[in-house]
Amino acid sequence: MSGKVIAFFPEAAFGPALNSVGIAQACEKLGHKAVFLTDPGMQGVYSGYGFDEYTVNMSEPMPPEEMAKYWTDFINGHIPNFDL
């Protein structure tokens, strides 16, 4: 069986990203080539593990300050859901 090229397209967050890296490493040990399609905010994560990565705009571009505010508001808006 010849190796396949397997494209990973994980959610732009470190949990899914690093889980995908582990799976991609296992695929490469089986003789396949893993590549990653990534949000610009995750650029460099996969190449840091030696994988080819291709940037795809999966979210609207935001300046860093606006992005930080977005995530702060997102987290603060969901904190009540964790009030056990």
**Domain extents for the chain?**
5-59
Q: How confident is the model at residue 1 (pLDDT cuts 50, 70, 90)?
A: low
Answering whether pTM is above 0.85, one says no
Cα angle, residue 11 at apex, residues 6 and 17 outer, rounded to 5°? 65
Residues in CB range of 61: below 8 A, 6 or more apart: 40
The per-residue pLDDT for range 15-51, each reduced to its tens digit, is 999 999 999 999 999 999 999 999 888 999 999 999 9
